[in-house]
Every structure is written in C-alpha cells, then in structure tokens.
C-alpha cells in the first residue's frame, strides 16, 4: 500500500507535467507581437468640389491591420495638405461604425477658395481606442491622396 501511495505522489505528477510540456501552448506558427489594433486604412476616398465646398466620402474598414474585426465606432481625423505645405487638421471629432459610409464636407478658407487654382490633398486617418493612428505615409503601398484643383 505504501508503494502505491508513493507512486501516486511521484510518478503521477511527473507524467502530468510531461504531458503538459508536450502539448505546447496550442497556437500554431511563430509568436506574434502584441497588436496595436490599428484600423486598416481607408482605400476608397473620393472628393468633389462645388464652389467653396469640398465633400469627401469613403467606406470605413471592417478590420484592423491584423485582419481582426473592429469593435465599436472608430475615431476619424481629416487632414488637408497644400502642395508643398504641411498637413492641416480640418476635423478630429468624427466617429463612424466599421463598414459604414464616412463623409465630411469642408468650406474652404478664403485664402484657398480665391486666387489661382492649386492642388490640395485630403487624408483620412483612423484612430484606435488609445489614440494611436497609422500616418498616411506609413500606409501599405502608400495610397495616393485625393487631389483637388
């Protein structure tokens, strides 16, 4: 009886430990870095000008850059860049649901609405819940901005 009790105390835990080691963590493939949960970039941004109004339209992505479904509304920032100039934030309080249509209309400031035609680029930046965003120049394939003259 003592021998059986000793076997239960030593051999059984050792067998269980070996079994756990052999099963691994259960995740196939190499370990992945933690996700930033950045929304995928907008791929269908379009713009139309009517007088002094610029109207932008796009479709919100359904997934993040890790190809996981987005949960909840996504914060949106819209930026306008003059040719050769810096990107000026024109809207930062927008939110849209994943997969929904996004839209924004801006009235051009007098300095941009008058005078000789010039090129303007518009960027739509999507922000995660921590406020992190993928900068337009980091987008895969460097998608071109929308230019309006």
**Which residue bears the tokens 């992945």?**
32
**Which residue bears the tokens 């965003």?**
133
Q: Would you place residue 11 in the very low, low, confident or very high pLDDT band (cuts 50, 70, 90)? A: low
pLDDT: which is higher, 89 or 12: 89
**Which residue bears the tokens 């080691």?**
21
Percent residues over pLDDT 90 in the chain: 32
Whether the pLDDT of residue 33 is over 90: the answer is: no
The strand ranges marked E within 26-86 are: 46-50, 53-59, 74-82
Predicted TM-score of the model (pTM): 0.70
In angstroms, the Cα distances linking 70 to 40, 123, 129 are 9, 20, 11
The listed range with the strongest mean pLDDT (81-85, 135-139, 143-147) is 81-85
pLDDT: which is higher, 81 or 19: 81
Mapping DSSP to helix (H, G, I), strand (E, B) and coil, where does residue 127 land? strand
CA distance 124 to 106: 13
Q: Would you place residue 4 in the very low, low, confident or very high pLDDT band (cuts 50, 70, 90)? A: low
46-148 CATH choice from 2.60.120.10, 3.40.50.1010, 3.90.1150.10, 2.60.40.10: 2.60.40.10
């Amino acid at each position: 009886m003592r021998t059986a009790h000793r076997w239960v105390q030593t051999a059984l835990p050792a067998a269980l430990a070996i079994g756990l080691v052999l099963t691994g963590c259960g995740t196939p493939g190499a370990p992945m870095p933690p996700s930033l949960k950045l929304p995928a970039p907008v791929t269908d941004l379009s713009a139309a000008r009517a007088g002094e109004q610029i109207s932008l339209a796009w479709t919100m992505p359904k997934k993040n850059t890790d190809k996981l479904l987005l949960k909840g509304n996504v914060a949106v920032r819209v930026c306008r860049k003059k040719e050769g100039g810096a990107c000026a934030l024109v809207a930062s309080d927008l939110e849209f649901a994943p997969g929904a249509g996004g839209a924004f209309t801006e009235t051009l400031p007098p300095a941009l609405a008058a005078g000789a035609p010039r090129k303007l680029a518009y960027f739509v930046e999507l922000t995660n819940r921590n406020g992190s965003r993928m900068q337009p120049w980091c987008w895969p394939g460097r998608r071109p901005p929308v230019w309006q003259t």
